[in-house]
Amino acid sequence: MLSRRLVELFRWIDPGPDSGHLVSDTSGWWRDPEVLAGIGPALTGLFPAARPTVVVAPEVTGLLLGPLVAMAAGAGFLPAYKDGGRRRVGAMRWAETPPDYRGRRLRMGVDGSLIGPGDRVLLVDDWVATGAQLDALDRVVRDSGAEPVGTAAVVATCPPYVAERLRLRALLTGDDLDGAASG
């Protein structure tokens, strides 16, 4: 079962004495052929009737995960960038986030010439913590005239009202990872 494999391969990392908290390490997921082949269909399967035309997912991890989901869904993929990243010109359409899990207010953007009315958008990410980044992308999508059809994530640790607003479905909760290995 994919969910069990995701938990087995997940690690909590101690970044050192100054940090005061463990950080997540999902590198083992991408190294595993079973996860790599199964994660796109598993996330698409959370929305069996959604018929997305495009998957939108934020850098950096979303640039890996998003295309896997898009291929499984028979949809296209549109990368979302953080301001200060590599795309800042042209037809970019931006929205500002509330503070994310690191307290950052970011601008999130996509190429607005590649999305619009008639598109059905599935937002995708590996981890939804506060939901801030996806909240901004949800606004970008709506402002473009496209229709958000839901949010698919590997892990969701956000409050229920955020999950409801984003129509979020996830493969794992924070509780699933409480007992994960440290290393």
Residues in contact with ligand PRP by CB under 6 A are: 58, 60-61, 100-101, 125-133
Which of 45/85 has CB closer to ligand PRP? 85
Q: What angle is formed at CA 130 by the lines to CA 176 and CA 100, rounded to 5 degrees? A: 130
Question: Between residues 113 and 175, which has the closer beta carbon with respect to ligand PRP?
Answer: 175
**How far apart, in whole angstroms, are the C-alpha atoms of residue 76 and residue 7?**
29
3-class SS at 182? strand
Q: How far is the CB of 44 from ligand PRP (least distance, A)?
A: 19
Tell the smallest beta-carbon distance from residue 82 to ligand PRP (Å). 7
Q: How far is the CB of 54 from ligand PRP (least distance, A)?
A: 18
Residue in the structure block whose two tokens are 């390490």:
25
Of the two residues 13 and 60, which places its CB atom closer to ligand PRP in the complex?
Answer: 60
DSSP states along 47-106: STT---SEEEEETTTHHHHHHHHHHHHT-EEEEEEETTSS--STTEEEEE-S--TTS---
In the complex, least distance from residue 118 CB atom to ligand PRP, rounded to whole angstroms: 27
Q: If you ran DSSP here, which 8-state letter would residue 112 be given?
A: G
Nearer of residues 131 and 148 to ligand PRP, judged by Cβ: 131
Min dist CB 26 to ligand PRP, Å, is: 8
AA letter at 108: M
Closer by beta carbon to ligand PRP, 119 or else 125 = 125
